[in-house]
Chains A and B, each alone.
Chain A
Amino acid sequence: MTQVKMTVNGKSVSGEVEGRTLLSTFIRDTLGLTGTHVGCDTAQCGACTLHVNGKSVKSCNMFALEADGADVATIEGMADADGTLNTIQQAFQDHHGLQCGFCTPGMVMTAAALLKENPSPSEAEIRAYLSGNLCRCTGYHNIVKAIMAASGQDVGQIAAE
């Protein structure tokens, strides 16, 4: 076992891990931050997406030790301390960007990464950026709409299927 230290949602944390301990396992099992979901555990679905040093990664496909010393952001750090949703989360609620909600933490973290890189993405750019995030419920339309709305753009042109 090796000691690993990182900052998660602004708080300094540490714990013991094995070489093979995944970042998703450390976040969920050691830190108890179960908002990061594990859907496929094979780097396909993106439910486990979080940010490491400002970059989105699939935490089921990275070892916890690789995040030693890093600044990590998870879905738990998105809303304000009093529970007020941030702009992206609120847009997901307003535009019905979720049904079962399983993919949602990964979708919100991905949307946050996209809007940081590209504050006014087109529909095509949003869809391309979501290529590593699967949703089995919504058919993606309302997720795309929510991200469009969160970026302050008109959602009228997105088909309402």
Chain B
Amino acid sequence: MYAFDLERPTTLADAQAALKSDEAQPLSGGQTLIPTLKQRLAMPEKLVSLTAIAELQGITKEGDTLTIGGATCHADVAADGSYPALSALAGQIGDPHVRNRGTIGGSLANNDPSACYPSAALASGAAIVTDRREIASDDFFTGMFETALDEGEIVTSVRFPIPERAAYVKFDQPASRFALVGVFVAKTADGVRVAVTGASEGGVFRWAEAEAALSSDFSPAAIEGLTVPSDDMIGDIHGTKDYRAHLVGVITKRAVAAAG
């Protein structure tokens, strides 16, 4: 790792001030950032830790809306249970040690194409709240490892409308435990949203054909015969483009079945 300063502010205002300098970057659970620093793929002059800021922690439920602080760890979301499909997703991220450190804000900001949370945010139609504005999940994920966040912008919370029915099914890549393909399905009064992670070169995406089919018939059979084009699927040693495209259909069916 290159050398850097590490600050640990206790208020959001102090974190914002510390992030004003050009080469500063937020540090949350560090579960992605520390390995990146060790590989010398990032070279910040200063890291600003978000883990000592009380206002970025915690989970609150008001009516059918669940709000999760940006620096809330995966284990806390897993234990919460007010949005069962979301808690189940959080409980399947990595391993217990990773879940005790890694946070929802870090996961969304990183937008790894194989990460779990982006699919939940996109399928649920969540709002990503920052220290500057609120971003709809449909506008937040802009490509592999890319988001609508500006330099130094902090994800302060994520607001999930809790759907009538939902489920996440993840087909693990067994060595990394990230999703080879993961599908989050959410059904609300307005229709069905299907978000796919792990599969596409462009990162998480909504599968429009499946959404249309499921909105009129919410059953695994509705997916029969639907396919996603394999051109922009990820192809690597773990699976070809065609294999991933096939898995998208299979895992979507399983997610619909699990959502009941």
- A: residues with CB less than 8 A from B are 2, 18-20, 22, 41-43, 46, 49, 55-58, 61-63, 65-66, 68, 110, 113-114, 129, 131-133
For A66, give its contact among B5, B30, B37, B97 (CB under 8 Å). B30
Q: Within the complex, what minimum Cβ distance (angstroms) separates A2 from chain B?
A: 8
Is A56's CB under 8 angstroms from B51's CB? no
CB distance from B81 to the nearest CB of A (A): 15
Cβ–Cβ contact B35 & A61, under 8 A: yes
Tell me, in angstroms, the Cα distance from A2 to B7 when the chains sit together.
10
Q: How many A-B residue pairs have CB under 8 A?
A: 72
- Chain B interface residue count, Cβ-Cβ cutoff 8 angstroms: 26
Q: Are B8 and A66 in contact (CB under 8 A)?
A: yes
Bitwise interface map of B from 21 to 35 toward A, beta carbon under 8 Å scored 1, else 0: 000000100110011
**For residue A114, which residues in chain B have a CB less than 8 angstroms away from its CB?**
96
Residues B47 and A19 in contact, CB atoms below 8 Å apart: yes
Task: Give residues 36-53 of B contacting A (CB, 8 Å).
Answer: 37-38, 47, 49, 51
Given contact pairs A20-B6, A66-B49, a sample of 14 additional A-B residue pairs in the complex whose CB atoms are under 8 Å apart: A2-B6, A19-B3, A20-B2, A20-B4, A20-B37, A42-B35, A43-B34, A46-B95, A56-B97, A61-B34, A61-B35, A62-B30, A63-B6, A132-B97
With a cutoff of 8 Å between Cβ atoms, the chain B residues found around residue A43 in the complex are 31, 34-35, 98
Given A19-B6, A19-B47, A43-B31: A57 in contact with B38 (beta carbons within 8 A): no
**Nearest-Cβ distance from residue B58 to partner chain A, whole angstroms:** 16
Q: How far is the CB of B211 from chain A (nearest CB, A)?
A: 32
- Kindly list chain A residues whose C-beta atoms are within 8 Å of the C-beta of B49: 63, 65-66
20 pairs of residues in contact across A and B, judged by CB atoms under 8 Å: A20-B4, A20-B37, A41-B38, A43-B31, A43-B98, A55-B75, A55-B100, A58-B97, A58-B101, A61-B35, A61-B101, A62-B101, A63-B30, A66-B8, A66-B49, A66-B51, A68-B8, A113-B96, A114-B96, A132-B95
Q: Check A132/B96 contact, CB under 8 A, given A20-B3, A20-B4, A66-B8.
A: yes
CA distance A110 to B6 in the complex (A): 28
User: How far, in whole Å, are A61 and B100 apart by their CA atoms in the complex?
Assistant: 12
In whole angstroms, what is the CA distance A55 to B34 when docked? 19
Q: 6 smallest A-B Cβ distances: which pairs?
A: A132-B95, A19-B6, A55-B100, A131-B95, A20-B1, A58-B97
Asked whether any CB of chain A lies closer than 8 Å to the CB of B177, the reply is yes
B9 CB–A CB distance under 8 Å: no
CA of A49 to CA of B100 in the docked complex: distance in angstroms?
12
Instruction: For A65, list chain B residues within 8 Å (CB).
Output: 6, 8, 49
A18 to B1, CA, bound (A): 11
A142 and B1 CA atoms in complex are apart in Å by 37
| Max chain A C-beta neighbours (<10 A), residue from B31, B35, B38, B95 | B95
- Nearest chain B CB to A52 CB, angstrom units: 8
Give B45's nearest chain A residue, CB to CB.
A19
Are B6 and A57 closer than 8 Å at their CB atoms?
no
Which residues of A are found within 8 Å of B47, using beta-carbon distances?
19
